[in-house]
Structure 1
Amino acid sequence: MNDALVVWARRKYKKLERHKTKAIRWLGQLAKNLPKLFVHWRLGILPAAG
């Protein structure tokens, strides 16, 4: 599920479009700041990066 969020972020934000690792780090920071944003994050399935 987190991989799908990375793909979505790379499509949505131009600054992440060509940088997969940057998108993964961005998602990790988002999970760190807002851990209850998605249901699977609430269950403890957080992205590894961040």
Structure 2
Amino acid sequence: MDFEKDYNASKLTPKRAMAMLREEGLDVSLEQASEILYILRKLATIAMINHLK
């Protein structure tokens, strides 16, 4: 099993995030979806660092 290939295949893209949000009734642009993913990744990093302390 190629971990790098599996990781990239499951990575959440802005296009997929936009579709998921639209399914939940939230209409966002591709740029907004990118910004949302950026913020979520930053929060995940902060949470991981705090957990490891």
Q: TM-score, normalised by structure 1?
A: 0.44
More helix, by proportion: 2
Q: TM-score, normalised by structure 2?
A: 0.42
Greater C-alpha Rg = 2
Greater RCO, 1 or 2 (C-alpha within 8 Å, sep 6+): 1
